[in-house]
Structure 1
Amino acid sequence: MKRLFAPAPDSLLGQLRSPLYMRWQAGLSLFALVAVFQGPLALRHPVGAWLAPTLLAVPLFVYLYSRVYLAPRRYVQWYVAGMTAVALVLWVSNPFAFVLLALAAVLSAFAESWRRWLANVAVIGALALGKAWIFGDPLGQALAVAMAGLFGGFSNVAYVCSARKDAELRLSQAEVRRLAVLAERERIGRDLHDLLGHTLSLVALKSELARRLALAEPGRAQREMAEVERVARHALTEVRAAVTGMRRGDLAAELTSARLMLEASGVAFEGGLPDGFELPQAIEAPLALVLREAVTNIHRHARAGRAAVSVSIEDHMLHMRIGDNGRGGLTAHGNGVSGMRERVHALGGTLSIDSPPRRGTMLSIRVPLPMQAAVPVEARGIARPALPATGSAA
């Protein structure tokens, strides 16, 4: 059963990554089926004339309806045709079955092109008009079917176009991140080659020379090996310096990464650092990791629409606030929060959390700075972006 209702990769929900909005829309639209039962009862039509055909037709219609969302999009045309046939046959015995025909016209917008949608609406409208004309039904019902197909279908077409562009943007951002990682790997490879290539070649040559001189000229061989030792220690120092630089935490880079991650998931982000803003590496690296963990929590758990980061320096203290307007309720004892708190405490600072349920979350971080780094915020011109009204981080 679960497999039956799983969207195909090339289905409407599969292509758009099963958006929650579309799932809700699909479910709520089925409430229109209530009219198929309630209408005849309200008009006191003989139950024997319409109830049995309706009970047979509605499950088949619902199945075809679900396949529009779950089956490959190249088959949408056929499922809409099936829904149209079921609705037309039922309309003969149930005067409110035109509601099913209107649903079919609306869902025809999910065909692979807008031309097919307009052609489907025209055909369905013509069939509805012909049925109403032949059986003497109100022509307004046929007009309602055509109008529903046009206006409801236009809304669906616009939503699918927007969702597809959003999915393409996510893919392009993922590709940018992948290329950035690839470029960084290539840079590290070049740096290590430039750093170690000449040194290791020199070590190999001097080691070979020392081996040849070991018996004939022991004193010279010892001098050569001492030179090998000096070169090796120098290379080790350079490698350690290079690795330290690669591991260097950077608040500016983390803010850029946060913006990419949050905006790709539909969360508006505000925050940044001014030109010339610098911190001692021993302080900036742990704070960058704290910021990364907080932003990851917002992305995964907060269900926020907005997030912001504010940084300021006052009275020899660095203040960093990370806020969102999400669901709140962040526990102070989770693994992520415990890790952030430990990093801040190791710097001699404090981390406080304000996270009332359904009112967002605010992380407030205070870290003491050395005298040379504690420049007043006015002197550095640090921008303070407006935080969401309800709070910060998730």
Structure 2
Amino acid sequence: MIGKFEFFPKRVGKFIYFNLIYWVLGVYNLLHFSDTTTKALLGLSLSLLFLIAYRESFWAEEKPWKGTVFLPVQVLIVCVWVAFYNENFCYMTFFCGSVIGFMQSKKRMWGSLIAMLVAVTVAILIAEGQGQWGDIFSLIPFYLTNIMFPFSMRAMRIWKEQNEELQAANAQIEHLSKHAERQRIARDLHDTMGHALSMITLKSELAEKLAVRDPERAAREMRDVQTASRAALSQVRELVANMHMISLPDELQNIRRILDAAHIELHVHGTLEELRLNTSTSSILALCLREAVTNVVRHSRARICRVTLQDDAAGTIMRIVDDGRGWKEKGNGHGLLGMRQRVDVVGGTLHLETAPNGGAALTVTLPHIISGQKGD
């Protein structure tokens, strides 16, 4: 199956198409400076050849020989225009400069740039019909433009490549985050339902054996089965509820209600508008906030809980500090371990320490992700 035709490779971007406007203007100027029909036809033929060579030069990464052949063709055509039509055609070298700017090798880029400038300078001297340029200062803009333009194109190319690499890394992080969450859900289902179903199986088998010789005990066993099944159903519902993505703004409202009910003051420093969050990072921070506040309410005996939100060079930072007895979960408890796993997935850090007032201080730092910037 024949693939879709592309005039330029996708990797060079759409900006390069705007250069074609100047090619059309170049065709107009060639007709203007042609004093004979033959010269006009030759100029139009060279313009078409120049456009073909310009287009083919950008496919040098796929076929290296094209860069070796078609860039010199462009330079030669510009030299013909300069020498036999008008000296101002020297500025058409910016087409060649855009090709040079997309070269991967910096050494080859410099070599091509110098060779192009030398060739066009010789063409200018030929056009003058003398051994030196009449007004040397009029060449300064030409040289400055042709030196700066390839490096501008190179910088744009490098930025585009780095941006694509970062977006690919972000997509991989999102994929790993979802994979880790699926593993957590599977682990929770196995631990919760495996235990409950094993107990239901044993109890029901025992009730079956006791049904004839001890009906009363069999009835008790079946009541235990009913209780276990209801508990398992409740746990499944809780797991399903936790599978939904939650947002940091919603969770802040939720913990405010919880802390109010526990008679604990909540002080929030920083605003959500200042943060650069996407759906995943917002959910991770929200889950960490939920777990931390749950620990504060259940174990800390705190009177005040402070939540600080901020962005800096390290990433998005959330700090939760209370004035209670400190974090009561020892070692890698399930709550703390779950938070660490979520934070590790996106390359973040979690730090738990004793606050200056003796309470707990939990700091979560998540790296900035391009797709998570405001406006996405």
Normalised-by-shorter TM-score class = 0.5 to 0.7
Aligned to 1:208: 205
Report how many residues are paired.
257
Deviations 1:313-371 (A, max 9, x none): xxxxxxxxxxxxxxxxxxxxxxxxxxxxxxxxxxxxxxxxxxxxxxxxxxxxxxxxxxx
Aligned to 1:48: 37
Alignment of 1:105-184 (within 5 A): 105-133=97-125, 136=128, 139=133, 146-184=143-181
Query: Which SS does the other structure have where 1:100 is aligned?
Result: helix
- Alignment-mate amino acid for residue 201 of structure 1: S
Identity %: 23
Query: Which SS does the other structure have where 2:5 is aligned?
Result: coil
Unmatched segments (≥5 aa) in structure 2: 252-271, 280-284, 291-373
Aligned to 2:54: 65
User: Given the alignment, which residue of 249, 259, 272 partners 2:276?
Assistant: 259
Q: Using the alignment, how far apart are the partners of 1:12 and 1:166 within structure 2?
A: 12
Report deviation, 1:46. Answer: 2.0
- Alignment-mate amino acid for residue 250 of structure 1: S
Q: Does 1:238 align with 2:235?
A: yes
Report deviation, 1:147. Answer: 3.7
User: How has the CA–CA distance of structure 1 residues 12 and 240 changed in structure 2, closer, same or farther, with 3 Å as cutoff?
Assistant: closer
Aligned to 1:348: none
Report deviation, 1:219. Answer: 4.2
Report deviation, 1:150. Answer: 0.9
User: How has the CA–CA distance of structure 1 residues 2 and 245 changed in structure 2, closer, same or farther, with 3 Å as cutoff?
Assistant: closer
User: How has the CA–CA distance of structure 1 residues 6 and 184 changed in structure 2, closer, same or farther, with 3 Å as cutoff?
Assistant: farther
Deviations 1:267-310 (A, max 9, x none): xxxxx99xx99xxxxxxxxxxxxxxxxxxxxxxxxxxxxxxxxx
Q: Using the alignment, how far apart are the partners of 2:97 and 2:243 within structure 1?
A: 58
- Alignment-mate amino acid for residue 121 of structure 1: L
Report deviation, 1:232. Answer: 0.8
- Alignment-mate amino acid for residue 4 of structure 2: R
TM-score (norm 2): 0.56
Aligned to 1:98: 90
Q: Using the alignment, how far apart are the partners of 2:168 and 2:141 within structure 1?
A: 40
Say what the alpha-carbon RMSD is for the aligned residues.
Answer: 4.1
Decide whether the 8 Å contact of 1:33 with 1:100 is kept in 2: no
Query: Which SS does the other structure have where 2:276 is aligned?
Result: helix
Decide whether the 8 Å contact of 1:106 with 1:150 is kept in 2: no
Aligned to 1:267: none
User: Given the alignment, which residue of 26, 34, 54 partners 2:25?
Assistant: 34
Deviations 1:154-181 (A, max 9, x none): 2111222222222222222222222222
Aligned to 2:6: 5
Report deviation, 1:33. Answer: 4.9
Report deviation, 1:153. Answer: 1.0
TM-score (norm 1): 0.53
User: How has the CA–CA distance of structure 1 residues 249 and 134 changed in structure 2, closer, same or farther, with 3 Å as cutoff?
Assistant: closer
User: Given the alignment, which residue of 54, 76, 81 partners 1:85?
Assistant: 76
Query: Which SS does the other structure have where 1:111 is aligned?
Result: coil
Report deviation, 1:144. Answer: 6.3
Report deviation, 1:82. Answer: 3.2
Asked which structure has the greater CA Rg, the reply is 2
- Alignment-mate amino acid for residue 39 of structure 2: W
Q: Using the alignment, how far apart are the partners of 2:7 and 2:277 within structure 1?
A: 30
Report deviation, 1:233. Answer: 1.0
Alignment of 1:220-299 (within 5 A): 220-247=217-244, 249-252=246-249, 259-261=276-278
Deviations 1:240-280 (A, max 9, x none): 12322333643448969x93459xxxxxxxxx99xx99xxx
Q: Using the alignment, how far apart are the partners of 2:216 and 2:105 within structure 1?
A: 85
User: How has the CA–CA distance of structure 1 residues 190 and 2 changed in structure 2, closer, same or farther, with 3 Å as cutoff?
Assistant: closer
User: How has the CA–CA distance of structure 1 residues 143 and 77 changed in structure 2, closer, same or farther, with 3 Å as cutoff?
Assistant: farther
Q: Using the alignment, how far apart are the partners of 2:84 and 2:236 within structure 1?
A: 84
User: How has the CA–CA distance of structure 1 residues 45 and 250 changed in structure 2, closer, same or farther, with 3 Å as cutoff?
Assistant: closer
Decide whether the 8 Å contact of 1:7 with 1:70 is kept in 2: yes
Report deviation, 1:223. Answer: 3.0
Report deviation, 1:52. Answer: 1.0
- Alignment-mate amino acid for residue 86 of structure 1: I
Decide whether the 8 Å contact of 2:101 with 2:153 is kept in 1: yes
- Alignment-mate amino acid for residue 3 of structure 1: K
Query: Which SS does the other structure have where 1:259 is aligned?
Result: coil
User: How has the CA–CA distance of structure 1 residues 248 and 57 changed in structure 2, closer, same or farther, with 3 Å as cutoff?
Assistant: closer
- Alignment-mate amino acid for residue 124 of structure 1: M
- Alignment-mate amino acid for residue 35 of structure 2: P
User: How has the CA–CA distance of structure 1 residues 195 and 175 changed in structure 2, closer, same or farther, with 3 Å as cutoff?
Assistant: same
User: Given the alignment, which residue of 159, 180, 185 partners 2:182?
Assistant: 185
Decide whether the 8 Å contact of 1:80 with 1:104 is kept in 2: yes
Unmatched segments (≥5 aa) in structure 1: 263-271, 278-391
